[in-house]
């Protein structure tokens, strides 16, 4: 099922499957979000929970027990129920169930919310630990945005610009797309700009830490742009389909990194994991601003 909300400036369509955004458009019909294509990537903006990225052997260990978990976790594949909806807001809900407990042994309630404010989409995550034990997890976003955003412009006309000067470190690329524990300096022009070109993603995602907490996708040749704010997410990934001319780029705020090479993850001892005590609630948001 799909739910649509609008405030007369922007419209957003959200799928009940994973709470994934499927469309972000302006009132004149311009589509900013990548709408999925089997030629490149069928997704649009999946949410990542309770783990981000790949795990060695596709599994992890908690309290001595091995659990299977696919890339980016299970939230993206779950059907969420509608908790509330107004003309310009939406809240979807997932409760722990037989499906989730088979791969994640915790009792929880997770809410994905959307609120439209002028030209902004406030995407909120709220997680409540209903279990008797501490609950470790990671959460992140994976929205893809059309590039170019205007006719007569090309992918290479665009760049990503951080909100402030930074000296980012990149996880060292590996053939397995798992971590080897190494980071390397990642050069960006004037400490802020990453100019887009398709071969940037020939080694898969660019995953950075020590950046600013916001980035804008824009071109000096056009007026349309997208700003993504990710306060509280220490990592940011940029990606499009590997070794392709895919006409989109994903801007991915993460709270944690993927698993390590040759190591089955023990998530109860992973320092990157958020740890939620019994009865506690975690809340955070990603803000997407549409600029014309």
CATH number at residue 9: 2.70.98.10
C-alpha distances out from residue 167 to 138, 186, 193, Å = 24, 7, 11
C-alpha distances out from residue 277 to 41, 106, 109, 149, 264, Å = 37, 12, 14, 43, 24
CA angle 241, 247, 253 (to 5 degrees): 60
pTM of the model: 0.97
| Beta-bridge partner residues of 108 | 129
Q: Supply the pLDDT for residue 172.
A: 95
Q: Is the pLDDT of residue 268 over 90?
A: no
Q: Domain count of the chain?
A: 1
The band of 259, judged by pLDDT with boundaries at 50, 70 and 90, is very high
Main-chain dihedrals φ then ψ at residue 57, nearest 5 degrees: 65, 10
Looking only at the bridges linking them, the beta strands covering 108-117 and 89-95 are: antiparallel
The band of 195, judged by pLDDT with boundaries at 50, 70 and 90, is very high
Q: Supply the pLDDT for residue 117.
A: 98
Q: Supply the pLDDT for residue 51.
A: 97
Question: How many CB atoms are located within 10 Å of the residue 242 CB?
Answer: 13
DSSP, residue by residue, 160-222: EEESS----EEEPP-TTSSB-S-EEE---BTTTEEE--GGGGTTS-EEEES--SEEEEEETT-
Q: Is the pLDDT of residue 19 over 90?
A: yes
Q: Supply the pLDDT for residue 269.
A: 87
Q: Which residue range forms the structural domain that includes residue 231?
A: 2-291
DSSP for residue 49:
B
List all residues 6 or more positions away from 87 whose beta carbon is below 8 Å from its beta carbon: 5, 6, 7
With contact defined as beta carbons under 8 Å apart, do 217 and 155 qualify?
A: no
In the three-class reduction of DSSP (H, G, I as helix; E, B as strand; rest coil), residue 269 is classed as helix
171-192 mean pLDDT: 94
By residue count, the chain amounts to 292
- What are 31-56's pLDDT values in tens digits? 999 999 999 999 999 999 999 999 99
How far apart, in Å, do the first and last CA atoms of the chain sit? Answer: 30
Mean pLDDT for all residues in the chain: 97
3-state SS, 57-101, equals HHEEEECCEEEECCCCECHHHCECEEEEECCCEEEEEEECCHHHH
Q: Supply the pLDDT for residue 280.
A: 98
Cis peptide before 247 (omega within 30 of 0): no
């Amino acid at each position: 099922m799909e739910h649509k909300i609008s405030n007369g400036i922007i419209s957003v369509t959200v799928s009940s499957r994973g709470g994934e955004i499927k469309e972000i458009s302006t009132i004149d019909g311009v589509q900013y979000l990548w709408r999925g294509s089997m030629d490149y990537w069928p997704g649009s903006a999946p949410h990542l929970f309770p783990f981000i990225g790949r795990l060695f052997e596709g599994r992890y260990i908690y309290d001595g027990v091995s659990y299977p978990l696919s890339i980016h976790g299970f939230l993206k594949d779950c059907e969420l129920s509608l908790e509330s909806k107004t003309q310009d807001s939406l809240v979807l809900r997932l409760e722990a169930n037989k499906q989730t407990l088979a791969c994640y042994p915790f009792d929880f309630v997770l809410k994905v919310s959307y609120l439209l404010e002028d030209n902004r989409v406030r995407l909120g995550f709220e997680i409540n630990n209903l279990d008797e034990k501490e609950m470790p997890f990671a959460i992140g976003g994976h929205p893809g945005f059309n590039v170019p955003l205007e006719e007569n412009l090309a992918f290479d006309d665009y760049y990503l610009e951080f909100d402030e000067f930074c000296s980012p470190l990149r996880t060292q690329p590996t053939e397995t797309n798992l971590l080897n524990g190494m980071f390397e300096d990642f050069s960006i022009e004037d400490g802020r700009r990453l100019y887009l070109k398709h071969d940037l993603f020939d080694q898969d995602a660019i995953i950075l830490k020590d950046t600013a907490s916001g980035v804008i996708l824009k071109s000096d040749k056009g007026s349309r742009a997208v700003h993504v704010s990710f306060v509280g997410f220490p990592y940011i990934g940029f990606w499009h389909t590997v070794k392709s001319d895919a006409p989109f780029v994903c801007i991915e705020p993460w709270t944690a990194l993927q698993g390590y090479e040759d190591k089955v993850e023990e998530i109860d001892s992973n320092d990157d994991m958020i740890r939620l005590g019994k009865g506690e609630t975690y809340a955070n948001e990603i803000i997407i601003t549409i600029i014309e």
